[in-house]
Amino acid sequence: MAIPIVIRTLVAFGVAVGGGLLSAVLGRTHKQLCALISLGAGTLLGVTIFAIGPACWKALAPWQFLLAAASGYALFAIISKYIFHVCPACAASHFDEATTHRFGEIALAMMIALAIHCTVDGLALAAGREERTGPAPSQWLDMSLTMAICVHKAPEGLALGALLLGAGYSRARMLWLVAAVESTTILGGVLGWFVFRSVSNLWLDLALAHAGGGFIFLATHAVLGEIMEHEKKIVVLSCTAGFCAIAALILIFRLQAD
């Protein structure tokens, strides 16, 4: 049904906008942002390794799985290199004074890149939901994917809001922009529902593997960028906490499903 997919995408959207609201009303240190970024990265990595990977590897031929995952990784890598960082959280540490002065030149590119990222999030939520209705129901995949994306959305909205405020936007305009960009998550979910409900399980698995490749890029790019530049201990601990938490939740979901 479309309604559960819309609800999931609305929750993810709300979490992201809530992060933007927090950046408007509360101060945040770089150390706190590092911890949130790394926590979200750990959950994305965990859901890819423990949920998306095993499900897609079992359903697809090895070359199909690797090609789909590589395409997801490559898409985000290309966008980050030639347009802008697909995740503002990943770019937060590089948003320096020079970037602020020329923000008008890159604002549109940042919005486009993040909109693509959010659309993929929505498509992944739709694909995970549709998997439940196939011949091999996997509610644990659906729920763990939803939770991982929602956890990632909080630092995403927080970082995007902080970047926009740092660029001189008013709080009201910042919140409007965060909501506008993050609404593409809902667009991706609705689009995915229309597309995936009429395709075979093969295409659902390919879509999930593609999304997993993108999640690996986001996780490694965010964590390695922060480790190389800033708070190593906090980054490692937060990423590990997110990774282990999502792994434990997936185990619980699978046991309940069985």
Using left for φ > 0, alpha for ψ between -120 and 50, and beta otherwise, residue 85 falls in beta
Percent of the chain with pLDDT over 90: 22
Q: What is the mean pLDDT of the chain?
A: 80
Domain boundaries, the chain: 2-257
How many degrees, rounded to 5, is the angle at CA 147 between CA 141 and CA 151?
145
Percent of the chain with pLDDT over 70: 79
Determine the angle formed by the axes of helices 2-25 and 103-131, rounding to 10 degrees. Answer: 150
| Three-class SS state of 40 | helix
Nearest Cα to 8, choosing from 188, 131, 199? 188
pLDDT at 98: 46
pLDDT, tens digit (0-9, with 9 covering 90-100), for 111-137: 788 888 899 999 888 887 665 444 444
Q: Do residues 142 and 47 make contact, with C-beta atoms less than 8 angstroms apart?
A: no
Alpha helices per DSSP H over 48-61: 53-59
Residues, the chain: 258
Give the pLDDT band of residue 91 (cuts 50, 70, 90).
low
Token pair 């999931």 is at which residue? 8
Nearest Cα to 169, choosing from 32, 55, 23, 43? 23
- Give the other-Cβ count within 10 Å of 192's Cβ: 25
Q: Do residues 246 and 50 make contact, with C-beta atoms less than 8 angstroms apart?
A: yes
